[in-house]
């Protein structure tokens, strides 16, 4: 499949994009690590280090502080936010650290009708290995790593993950499912460790868990579809998906097990005018997580194997303008999730070789150029979504000896329809050729 498109408009790539407030303490990269995953999912993020006084216009609040009490005016504000169907994340900490924060969060939950709650204190702490997942919401088989966390005790909430001794490190209170008092339609999430998303502990498995939250019950809260049994009977499906979905096949089967056996690399580039070259070459599959925050950066990535039948995975977040990203993935299984935010960026992607090709490309901003090539026999699938107030032209050519799939937010010639809009004067042009 070959896609060529020039975007001269503002694009929106998340069906459930909303406005998010992150309240934080500038602790060890937590706010940017969480914020970048929310941005990658298509949301708009605002940061503050002080108590908010007005949550009008926000659908989500992520309070990532670990030592600030939730009481007084803040508790009232959060209480009203939950009654208006908002999603609220509250960090707590280990029993020896932050009793004031922990107790205030427990009291806040109880006052919202969430039942008697203890966080740390007499409840004790969890181990640092939380490997029991509630698979209605979380990817099976992952292990979340803490630095030190409290045990959360509450019989009314919905546990998310716990250690092998049964001590809970993450819990939901789902207003839609009756976990909170009458009139509460929002959701509270409490995770009892600040470090699980900091620069030291934000492992591949922890990233998977965070994305499970963002793409699953957080989105389902905003949509109003969450229940005790899961996110509307399963994972939230973005409108722009094509091919695999079901949370993009559980984010490509938990990032290929987070360890495909080859070169596993996580990299962060901050700043401007950098040249980055990453080559993963060897007898096994390869795995790369890459975040770039800055402008006028040039990045070239190659993933290939000297042995047939290997699989490669790339996940990249690019924030900034006038950047160039070139990606080559070769061999049997190629998967890429790429999110671009900014203006005047150039993205060239080549997934080459017989086998499975999957690309999830999200672009937000103006004046981007993107070129995508997927070749080799069979299993071609890509994600494209276009919307805006200026005319656009899009042409998709797919030719292969096997199945071809596509999905766009407009009525298709085969009768399928997905939500979307084109408000441009003179309309929009769409051409789809399948052979």
Average pLDDT along the chain: 76
- Map tokens 């032209």 to a residue: 393
* Element spanning 99, H or E: helix 99-109
Check pLDDT > 50 for residue 333.
yes
Check pLDDT > 70 for residue 53.
yes
Of the two residues 8 and 396, the one the predictor is more confident about is 396
CB 338 within 8 A of CB 318: yes
- Percent of the chain whose predicted confidence (pLDDT) is above 70: 70
Q: CATH number of the domain at 19-231, please?
A: 3.40.50.880
Task: Locate the domains of the chain by residue range.
Answer: 2-9+241-380, 19-231
> At 246, is the pLDDT very low, low, confident or very high (cuts 50, 70, 90)?
very low
Burial-class residue 420 by CB neighbours within 10 Å (0-12, 13-18, 19+). middle
* Element spanning 335, H or E: strand 333-343
Of the two residues 131 and 387, the one the predictor is more confident about is 131
How far is 36 from 293, CA to CA, in rounded Å? 10
- Map tokens 């602790």 to a residue: 27
Check pLDDT > 80 for residue 235.
no
Strand ranges inside 156-274, DSSP E: 158-162, 168-174, 187-191, 226-227, 230-231, 264-270
Number of other CB atoms surrounding residue 219 within 10 Å: 29
How far is 307 from 340, CA to CA, in rounded Å? 32
What is the pLDDT, as a whole number, of residue 215?
Answer: 78
- Side-chain-side CA neighbours of 320 within 13 Å: the count stands at 22
What is the pLDDT, as a whole number, of residue 177?
Answer: 83
What average pLDDT does this structure show over 259-285?
Answer: 76
CB 168 within 8 A of CB 130: no
- Percent of the chain whose predicted confidence (pLDDT) is above 90: 36
What average pLDDT does this structure show over 99-113?
Answer: 97
Check pLDDT > 50 for residue 195.
yes
What is the pLDDT, as a whole number, of residue 385?
Answer: 47
Check pLDDT > 70 for residue 113.
yes
CB 139 within 8 A of CB 161: no
pLDDT digits (tens, 9 = 90+) for 290-331: 878 888 888 899 988 877 777 788 888 787 888 888 888 887
**In DSSP terms, which residues pair with 267 in a beta bridge?**
290
Give alpha helix (H) positions in 185-294: 204-213, 219-223, 246-257
Of the two residues 24 and 430, the one the predictor is more confident about is 24
CB 163 within 8 A of CB 169: yes
What average pLDDT does this structure show over 196-225?
Answer: 85
Of the two residues 379 and 284, the one the predictor is more confident about is 284
How far is 55 from 375, CA to CA, in rounded Å? 48
Closest CA to 330 of 356, 298, 299: 356
pLDDT digits (tens, 9 = 90+) for 404-430: 554 444 333 333 333 334 333 334 444
């Amino acid at each position: 499949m070959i896609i060529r498109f020039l975007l001269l408009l503002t694009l929106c790539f998340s069906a459930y994009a909303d406005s998010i407030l992150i309240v934080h303490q500038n602790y060890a990269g937590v706010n940017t690590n969480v914020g970048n995953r929310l941005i990658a999912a298509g949301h708009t993020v605002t940061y503050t280090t002080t108590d908010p006084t007005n949550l009008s216009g926000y659908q989500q609040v992520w309070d990532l502080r670990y030592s600030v009490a939730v009481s007084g005016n803040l508790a009232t504000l959060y209480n009203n936010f939950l009654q208006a169907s908002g999603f609220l994340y509250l960090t707590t900490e280990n029993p020896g650290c932050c009793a004031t924060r922990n107790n205030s969060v427990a009291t806040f939950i109880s006052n919202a009708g969430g039942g008697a709650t203890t966080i740390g204190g007499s409840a004790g702490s969890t181990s640092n290995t939380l490997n029991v997942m509630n698979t209605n919401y979380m990817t099976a088989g992952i292990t979340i790593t803490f630095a030190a966390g409290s045990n959360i005790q509450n019989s009314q909430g919905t546990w998310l993950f716990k250690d092998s001794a049964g001590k809970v490190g993450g819990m939901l209170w789902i207003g839609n499912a009756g976990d909170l008092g009458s009139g509460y339609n929002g959701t509270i999430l409490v995770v009892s460790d600040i470090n699980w998303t900091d620069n030291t502990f934000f492992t591949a498995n922890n990233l998977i868990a965070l994305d499970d939250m963002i793409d699953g019950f957080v989105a389902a809260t905003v949509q109003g579809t969450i229940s005790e049994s899961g996110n509307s009977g399963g994972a939230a499906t973005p409108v722009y998906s094509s091919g695999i979905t079901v949370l993009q096949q559980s984010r490509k089967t938990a990032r290929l097990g987070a360890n495909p056996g080859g070169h596993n690399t996580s990299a962060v580039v901050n700043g401007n005018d950098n040249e980055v070259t990453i080559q993963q070459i060897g007898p096994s599959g390869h795995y790369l997580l890459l975040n770039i925050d800055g402008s006028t950066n040039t990045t070239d990535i190659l993933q290939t194997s000297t042995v047939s039948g290997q699989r490669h995975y790339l996940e990249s977040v690019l924030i900034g303008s006038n950047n160039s990203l070139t990606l080559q993935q070769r061999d049997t299984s190629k998967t890429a999730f790429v999110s671009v935010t900014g203006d005047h960026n150039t993205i060239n992607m080549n997934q080459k070789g017989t086998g499975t090709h999957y690309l999830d490309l999200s672009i937000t901003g103006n004046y981007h150029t993107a070129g995508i090539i997927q070749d080799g026999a069979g299993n071609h699938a890509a994600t494209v979504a276009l919307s805006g107030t200026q005319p656009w032209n899009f042409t998709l050519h797919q030719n292969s000896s096997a199945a071809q799939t596509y999905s766009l937010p407009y009525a298709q010639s085969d009768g399928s329809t997905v939500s979307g809009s084109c408000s441009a004067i003179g309309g929009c042009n769409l051409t789809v050729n399948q052979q």
